[in-house]
Structure 1
């Protein structure tokens, strides 16, 4: 395969641009294909949300070097940026650097990725065939490798508890909001003075609930119902004061206070089986025995990856999570919280298709435990491998702040989370080294929260941790 062919990066979000920065730093040719009309298109959609990790955790190392060389004015590293600030003050300047800008194509939606002249069945000559990346406009890009950093924002989970749309869900779509609506801003009129049902137990749900609670204090007639499948909300409340990131811990504390005060009506053990719109402009969700009626429903049930783009590639996907099979046990939400995922890199992200890697939140499949810093380290490791620097590629390093909870399991009992200061995960961040890997020295970041007056937090990617 010609070494002059570029590495194609799909997506110009935080992790995609981090991959581009590492490729530029190593002198490898690359092309970034972004479906939106500018960088960080998904991030801008939740621009009103504030991250709970400060700037110092949200900037990739290679990106920082390139920006510093260009005279970039680094923000106060202890300030918590909003999504809009992350996009405008970091990602836009990064995408505009001379080292990146000529190689980033906007309005370039990827329709499929395959091998040139080789379908999934054919083995002979496969590894020597370059990748063919087909765009929605019919043009093709030929590449020597592909890094898929397209994320999962456009493929949210359904409301139906069985993993498929609930009965009537498609017909009631006009009543259902995507995760993270701008309740106190651009979308205020859709919620003020109305009854809203929020479905989901992750940080995205918590963020929206806190904003709705604030709106209820401002506008009479505004009411909030929160429905979860678990028997209680302990998972969503999280580690609270045991969380190593105070703003993330404050999310659970504030949410619990609103529930206990009756501002938010909590309905537990509720699994959506059907949706039905009524003649008076309202919608009803039912679980078979109970019904919840509201004016609007916010679906905060998480996201899932779309692997249809690479259906002609040979992937080794875990049958449960949809991540690589090697990565799955390291990120399994039944065993891990956001802060207990071990370091991992190119080896865990590799498929039987040499040269193809999914990084960022998409690499986690359906696991809701992704952190932005994890994606940055994935990108660094993969690019090092593509450059032939396997020592650097396998020296994966990561230090994640504890959440104060053990995992993301739905919690059925009332005493599942241990009341031991640091929770069942321990009281402080712990450096973790993966077998055969270097000690973790980086740190996580990139999780959104609501305005600082409330200090709530939410997820943007996997719903647990962003």
Structure 2
């Protein structure tokens, strides 16, 4: 999950041409999905549980299938990270209504929660409202149409979805909202989208984004030379945590010729905690605490007597190398559509999102604050009733924000309830509208120390921010 927000450049006609040649999909309105069956929601994270809340409000039956052994299992993996969006932007509207009707009181809305706090104070109480409709340890391995492979057409839309679980159980459902995320499918370390030579062999010495450097993972890093690869907020978060460890050499490798984009907007950032992240990172680089390598294209890993030699080969063939003890690969994530391989998906060839959504989220032309509101129409595949939502819906684009996911599922559930007026009334208030004030971050700094962040920061994306030692009770994404 590389950094999400930056300068915005309007797309040119040439840039949009490849996608503009594709005719838009027919509207799903009027397609009759099977009745009398629940809607399957895959993933009990923030967006999946928001979908459940909207389904519950509209009286639609549902099941939430969570692969982990606890609610929001992926969030728990970055529970030590503090988000850079305050609570007021982290809570879905339908979820809040249901919780408050049950006597729940919202946390301090100006507080920047950690991942652990998101679960304890919001997601776990929300899931509890749904009782046995939330099934833990229910890993989805495949989705199809009952009696239909991907080729058969006649009568397809009227056939129930068949959801197969890892234990062999099969469920029949009327629609699928896939909020399974991308946290378990990180990008590779290699700079060309392919694994670096030796990457798999040295896997035990390569960690993916946001290890708990100041907590349970401390012994793996303290006193060792660590290489962090990546230019986004997750890389920055890890770098700042490593800088807290005495006697721990740190090298930061990026493909770009400079780190100005990673430093972000500083004091001008609409999210003060996110801006402070870049400011602190710049200070550590300029002081020499962190060694910055630019133009670094990871190509090969090789074992030496002194550690792992990491060799860069740039597009011109120029090589540079560094020898380290451990590597943190903070190179982002990609969607895994394997479970839907028997469904008819229309994926953008570049991003892996729906073809209609791709021009709206393309990181080459958009920041997280300029993504237009979108809903069921942009998320519809040729397979009526299947929707990938949340960060998975964005494919490889790092411009996702949690609030975007909340609006996605609100629109989709309205469509499933045949309320097309509500489904198409999509609205979104994003970062560059100035939703945050500097006083918010200053107040938090006085209470727990300054939050550091990761990409997707504004309205709580699943990308995390590492907490400072004073805030070690949890923390992730902004």
TM-score by length of 1: 0.86
The aligned residue for residue 310 of structure 2 is 285
Return the match for 1:376 from 399, 406, 412.
406
* Cα-to-partner distance string for 1:88-111 (whole Å, 9 max, x where unaligned): 1110000001xx122111111000
* Cα-to-partner distance string for 1:253-287 (whole Å, 9 max, x where unaligned): 1101111111110000000011122245x211101
The aligned residue for residue 267 of structure 1 is 293
After superposition, the Cα gap between the structure-2 partners of 1:452 and 1:174, relative to the gap in structure 1 and judged at 3 Å, is closer
Unaligned runs of 5+ in 1: 405-442
Aligned counterparts of 1:454 and 1:286: Cα–Cα separation in 2: 37
The aligned residue for residue 466 of structure 2 is 450
After superposition, the Cα gap between the structure-2 partners of 1:161 and 1:151, relative to the gap in structure 1 and judged at 3 Å, is same
Aligned counterparts of 1:340 and 1:101: Cα–Cα separation in 2: 38
* Cα-to-partner distance string for 1:277-319 (whole Å, 9 max, x where unaligned): 2245x21110131111111000000000000110010011000
**What is the 5 A alignment of 1:20-59?**
20-59=52-91
* Cα-to-partner distance string for 1:393-436 (whole Å, 9 max, x where unaligned): 111111111299xxxxxxxxxxxxxxxxxxxxxxxxxxxxxxxx
Report the Cα offset of residue 449 of structure 1: 2.1
Return the match for 1:340 from 370, 377, 401.
370
Considering only aligned residues, what root-mean-square deviation do their CA atoms show, in Å? 1.7
Report the Cα offset of residue 2 of structure 1: 4.1
Aligned counterparts of 2:215 and 2:460: Cα–Cα separation in 1: 25
Aligned counterparts of 2:160 and 2:265: Cα–Cα separation in 1: 48
Report the Cα offset of residue 178 of structure 1: 1.6
Does structure 2 retain, via aligned residues, the 8 Å contact 1:374–1:398? yes
Does structure 2 retain, via aligned residues, the 8 Å contact 1:321–1:328? yes
Report the Cα offset of residue 73 of structure 1: 2.1
Report the Cα offset of residue 451 of structure 1: 2.4
Q: Does 1:15 align with 2:47?
A: yes
Does structure 2 retain, via aligned residues, the 8 Å contact 1:43–1:83? yes
The aligned residue for residue 272 of structure 2 is 246
Aligned counterparts of 1:122 and 1:314: Cα–Cα separation in 2: 10
- State the secondary structure of the residue aligned to 2:216: coil
Does structure 1 retain, via aligned residues, the 8 Å contact 2:301–2:308? yes
Q: Does 1:237 align with 2:263?
A: yes
Aligned counterparts of 1:115 and 1:238: Cα–Cα separation in 2: 46
Does structure 1 retain, via aligned residues, the 8 Å contact 2:402–2:460? yes
Q: Does 1:104 align with 2:130?
A: no
Report the Cα offset of residue 444 of structure 1: 2.8
Does structure 2 retain, via aligned residues, the 8 Å contact 1:131–1:142? yes
Return the match for 1:140 from 156, 170, 178.
170
Return the match for 2:126 from 84, 89, 94.
94
Aligned counterparts of 1:334 and 1:228: Cα–Cα separation in 2: 18
After superposition, the Cα gap between the structure-2 partners of 1:379 and 1:13, relative to the gap in structure 1 and judged at 3 Å, is same
Does structure 1 retain, via aligned residues, the 8 Å contact 2:78–2:210? yes
Aligned counterparts of 2:224 and 2:294: Cα–Cα separation in 1: 22
Aligned counterparts of 2:468 and 2:229: Cα–Cα separation in 1: 24
- State the secondary structure of the residue aligned to 1:326: coil
Report the Cα offset of residue 239 of structure 1: 1.4
Does structure 1 retain, via aligned residues, the 8 Å contact 2:57–2:94? yes
Aligned counterparts of 1:235 and 1:142: Cα–Cα separation in 2: 47
The aligned residue for residue 194 of structure 1 is 224
- State the secondary structure of the residue aligned to 2:334: coil
Q: Which has the higher contact order (CA 8 A, sep 6+)?
A: 2
Return the match for 1:4 from 8, 33, 36.
36
Aligned counterparts of 1:384 and 1:243: Cα–Cα separation in 2: 34
- State the secondary structure of the residue aligned to 2:109: coil
Return the match for 2:432 from 402, 410, 417.
402
- State the secondary structure of the residue aligned to 2:244: helix
Aligned counterparts of 1:388 and 1:139: Cα–Cα separation in 2: 30
- State the secondary structure of the residue aligned to 2:141: strand
Unaligned runs of 5+ in 2: 1-32, 314-318, 435-457
